[in-house]
Amino acid sequence: MDRPLSKKLLFFIMGFFFALSGFSPPLSLGAMDWPSSGGLVTANFGLNEQGRPCLGTVFRSTGPIRSADKGELVFYRTQEDKASRLPSPLGSWIAYDHGDGILGIYSRFAEEKNPAGEYSPADVSPAGNSPGEREQSGPVSPAGPVSSTGPTSSAGPENTENSENAGDAANAVNMVSLRLREPPVQTRQGEIIAASGISGCSAQRGFYFALYDRRERRWVNPSLIIVPFPDDRPPEILSVQLRDSEGRLIPPAQGRIGQGRYSIIVNVADALSRSSPIRLAPHRLGVFLNGAEAGSLNFETFSARDGVLSVRRNGLAPVSEVYAPYPALKMGEAWFTRGQTSLEVIARDIMGNEASLIRRLEVE
C-alpha cells in the first residue's frame, strides 16, 4: 500500500473513531502540520508531569520551528520582556490565530536575538516528507516589530490553571544561517517562525507546541488535527493499585481485598517505537469491573473554564484530582462487593494499538 492510500485510510479510521466517541475536532484531521520534522517528542498531550498534565507536545530539537498552518500573530513575548515582573514557564513564546478559533502556541524557544549557532542548508531548506512538514517555497522575509502586550482574556494560555504552554518569538531565514528577528505578522504553513532553544522552564534545547480552542475554552490534543506520528508499539500498563478509605494502596495482584469503596490508580506508559525509552501518555484508558465500565479517561481535550482545568473522565473532573498520584492517574472510584471480581484495565494509543491487564480478585 502506498503512502497516500495509507494516509486516506488513517483519516477514515480516525473519523470513524471520533464519530463513535462523540468528539468533534475543531478542524479536520490533516488540516495542520507538525512544527518540527526532525525533533524528538519527549512529552505529549495528557502526560502526567509532576502532578500536572502536559497540554501540548514537547520537542527536543536543534532546528527551526515552523508554523503549523497559515495564521495571524496575536501575541509575542520574549523572556526578557519587562512588561511582567513574574517569570513565565513558557519563556519566549508566540501565539498565532490559525482560524476557526484555534490558537497555535509556540514556546520555550531560543532567547538570543542573534544566535551564534548556524543551521545547515538542510535545516532551513523546504520541508521534507517527515510527519508534520510540508513543502515550503523559498526564504521567508521577516516582518516588522510586533507589540508584546498580548491578550488579557481569562481564556488565554497564561491565565489558565496549570497551563505551561507555548514558545519563542523570532524569525528570519537565509538558506545558510538562521538569524532571529521579530516573528511574521502573517505566516504561511511551513514558514519558519522561531528557532529551537532553551527558555522558560525548559531544561533541554527544543520547544513546546500547543493548540488552544478559544471558542470552546479548551486545550486540544494536536494529534486530533495533525496526522499522528507513526507508532508501532502498544501502551504498557505499568501498575494498577487500589486505594482504600484510609489512603492505603493495595495491589490487586495480591488477589484478596475487603469489601468497600476504592479509588483505582493506574500507571501507563506509551512510546512511539519499540526501541524508544521515552515515556509518553496513551490516548485513552478504561477500567472495567466484571465487564462493566467503572471508569474511563481520554486525552482529547482539557477544559479551561473559570480558572479550573478539567479532563474528561466519566464527565469533567479537575486535573488536580486525576493527576494527583504522580506518575499514575486516578481513574475514579468503585464499590467492590463480596465475591469474585474481575478488574480489567485497557489502554489505547492514538493509532489504535491496545494493551490490557486483568486481575481476578476475591472480595471478602
Q: Three cell numbers at 234?
A: 502498544
Within this chain, do residues 59 and 186 fall inside the same structural domain, yes or no? yes
Whether 27 and 99 share a structural domain: yes
Do 261 and 359 share a structural domain?
yes
More confident residue, 187 or 123: 187
Percentage of the chain exceeding pLDDT 70 = 70
Q: Among 224, 259, 278, give the residue marking a domain's end.
A: 224
Same domain, 150 and 173: yes
User: Is residue 84 very low, low, confident or very high in pLDDT (cuts 50, 70, 90)?
Assistant: low
Domain identity same for 55 and 166:
yes
Tell me, yes or no, whether 7 lies in a domain.
no
Q: Are residues 198 and 249 in the same domain?
A: no
Do residues 195 and 81 both lie within one domain? Answer: yes
Cis peptide before 327 (omega within 30 of 0): yes
| In a domain? residue 229 | no
Backbone angles phi, psi at 215, to 5 degrees: -70, -45
C-alpha distances (whole Å) from 341 to each of 41, 232, 296, 327, 364 are 39, 32, 18, 26, 11
Mean pLDDT of 260-272: 95
59 occurs within a structural domain: yes
Match 523546504 to its residue by C-alpha cell: 126
**118 occurs within a structural domain:** yes
Average pLDDT, the chain: 78
- 41, 165: one domain: yes
Mean per-residue pLDDT for 278-292?
Answer: 95
**Which domain covers residue 351, as residue numbers?**
236-363
199 & 269 share domain: no
Number of domains making up the chain:
2
Tell whether 141 and 287 lie within a shared domain. no
50 and 97 share a domain? yes
| Amino acid at site 226 | I
Q: Which CATH number fits the domain that encloses residue 302?
A: 2.60.40
Task: Specify the pTM.
Answer: 0.76
Domain end point (choices 224, 244, 277):
224
Q: What are 294-345's pLDDT values in tens digits?
A: 999 999 999 999 999 999 998 899 999 999 999 999 999 999 999 999 999 9
Q: Given 199, 224, 249, which residue is the final one in a domain?
A: 224
Question: Is residue 281 situated within a structural domain?
Answer: yes
Read off the CATH number of the domain in which 83 is found: 2.70.70.10
State whether 267 and 357 are in the same domain.
yes
